[in-house]
Amino acid sequence: MKIKKELIWLFVIAIIFNICFLLFYDKGPKASSDFSKIYGPVADQVSDYVKGTGDSVNLPHILKQHPTILFHLGYVAITALIFLIFGSGNIWALILFQIILASLIPVILYKIAEEFYANKKVAMIFSLVSIVFIDNVIWNNWASPEAVYRFFFVVYIYSFVTSYYSRQNSTWAKNLLFVLGYFVLLFIRIDTVILCLPIYVLLVVSSVKKNKMVLRSVAPVMLVGTLVTFLFIYYLPVMVQVLRSIYMNGDVIIQYTKIEPFDYSKDGNYFYILTRMVKLFFMRGYQFLNIFPPFWQKAHQYYYAAHMIPLYILFITALVKVIRQKNYKFMVYASIFICSLILHIITRVDAALRTSFTHLPFLILTAGYGFDYLFELFNKKKNKEAYKDLICSVQ
């Protein structure tokens, strides 16, 4: 199969931009605090054990010390493999690996855009926007699960949607792709539970539209739901703390959200808990959509706002087109942004807005779809006026 020239150029431009950003802006790779304390040391331990230079890995003990690492085991395994090949603690190799993965995302976005956009030049422009928007690439240079997770998530969503609407693949093949891919993602980041909601809806709605519940279509959703439920029950103490953080302080930063500390004397007061939850939900939602994140420097705020204002407007425009045309296939891609908003509302306010990193490629893709729609309407109006002028001149 011949690879299109524009796809190669997109990949090359993305690689160059990411490396320049790494060298001249970040001044080299960086590691998140979780990586330095947990993922890196565990990956080193696994790598040394495989090479025969270290002790065996006591996974139950590690999970007891750091329960949430369960949903990052995939990232730890990938990091351990890189350390095994390129040397223990080789963070440069890990970051370059992340950059290669990240540079493939604009290529996938262009492939999706090429299918849905009326104008291929618009598809190319917004693929390039996804490369140069700094907030869309900033976590590629950090040793943290976000960059690796996002690549596999984009590949998974694209592969599943393409496979689902293809008549060449059997239903069981699609189901297998859904289940296996889901658990690969789940053990890199638990965000998968919320971010894959559009796929659950797609599977169930398509079955209902056929006027009957086709068991083999909804079976993967039922299987995943059952297995995830068992995982949650097994790690119930951790999950209880997560759920409690929804109505307690959680990761909300009091300085900016202006919410009072949790009153433990009212722990059993359900009205107090409910009102606090609602307040937190609105605060977190606002911080997620805020185009001037209060945690950032002024220059970064203006830069972010300059991108996000047009992206939000074009996103809403795209939703209008999707709803009018009942384009359920593209709706899956557009829904990722909404699911990311839901995820942020029920979890935390993050100073670095890391929750938004996964959905940004889909936000840019959907915004491009909105711009393409406006461009299409403009051309139609222009052609209509040109046609009227031609008729008048003939008469």
pLDDT, position 213: 47
Say whether pLDDT at 167 is over 60. yes
Residue 164 in domain: yes
Tokens of residue 115, six digits: 């299918």
Q: What are phi and psi of 369, to 5 degrees?
A: -65, -40
pLDDT, position 121: 92
Residue 300 in domain: yes
Mean pLDDT is highest, among 32-46, 55-69, 225-239, for: 32-46
Cβ(332)–Cβ(202) under 8 Å?
yes
Number of other CB atoms surrounding residue 266 within 10 Å: 12
Cβ(32)–Cβ(143) under 8 Å?
yes
24, 27, 28, 33 alpha-carbon torsion, rounded to 10°: -130
Residue predicted with more confidence, 297 or 242? 297
Cβ(358)–Cβ(152) under 8 Å?
no
Q: Domain of 189? A: 5-31+90-394
Q: What is the pLDDT of residues 243-300, one digit of tens each?
A: 565 555 544 454 555 567 677 787 777 788 778 777 777 877 888 888 888 777 888 8
pLDDT, position 290: 85
pLDDT, position 123: 93
Query: 11-24 burial, b if ≥16 CB within 10 A, otherwise e?
Result: bebbbebbbebbee
Q: What is the arithmetic mean of pLDDT over 87-102?
A: 93
pLDDT, position 170: 64
pLDDT band at 353 (very low <50, low <70, confident <90, very high): low
Q: What is the SS3 assignment for 266-334?
A: HCCCHHHHHHHHHHHHHHHHHHHHCCCCCCCCHHHHHHHHHHHHHHHHHHHHHHHHHHHHCCHHHHHHH
Residue predicted with more confidence, 344 or 335? 335
As a whole-number percent, the residues of the chain with pLDDT over 90 amount to 29
Residue 304 in domain: yes
CA distance 244 to 267: 10
Number of other CB atoms surrounding residue 65 within 10 Å: 11
pLDDT band at 217 (very low <50, low <70, confident <90, very high): low
Say whether pLDDT at 168 is over 70. no
Tokens of residue 285, six digits: 């939602």
Say whether pLDDT at 310 is over 50. yes
pLDDT band at 50 (very low <50, low <70, confident <90, very high): confident
Residue predicted with more confidence, 192 or 168? 192
Residue 54 in domain: no
As a whole-number percent, the residues of the chain with pLDDT over 70 amount to 76
Mean pLDDT is highest, among 25-39, 86-100, 349-363, for: 86-100
Residue predicted with more confidence, 144 or 219? 144
Q: If DSSP codes are grouped into helix, strand and coil, which group holds residue 142?
A: strand
Q: What is the arithmetic mean of pLDDT over 61-83?
A: 83
Q: What is the arithmetic mean of pLDDT over 353-359?
A: 76
Q: What are phi and psi of 142, to 5 degrees?
A: -110, 135
Residue 84 in domain: no
Q: What is the arithmetic mean of pLDDT over 47-57?
A: 78
pLDDT, position 371: 95
Q: What are phi and psi of 143, to 5 degrees?
A: -75, 95
- On average, the pLDDT of the chain sits at 80
Nearest to 135 by CA among 25, 250, 252: 25
CA distance 281 to 232: 22
Residue 141 in domain: yes
Residue predicted with more confidence, 92 or 138? 92
Q: Name which of 26-40, 178-192, 237-251, 274-288 the model is least confident about.
A: 237-251
Number of domains the chain is built from: 1
Residue 44 in domain: no
Say whether pLDDT at 366 is over 90. yes
Residue 42 in domain: no
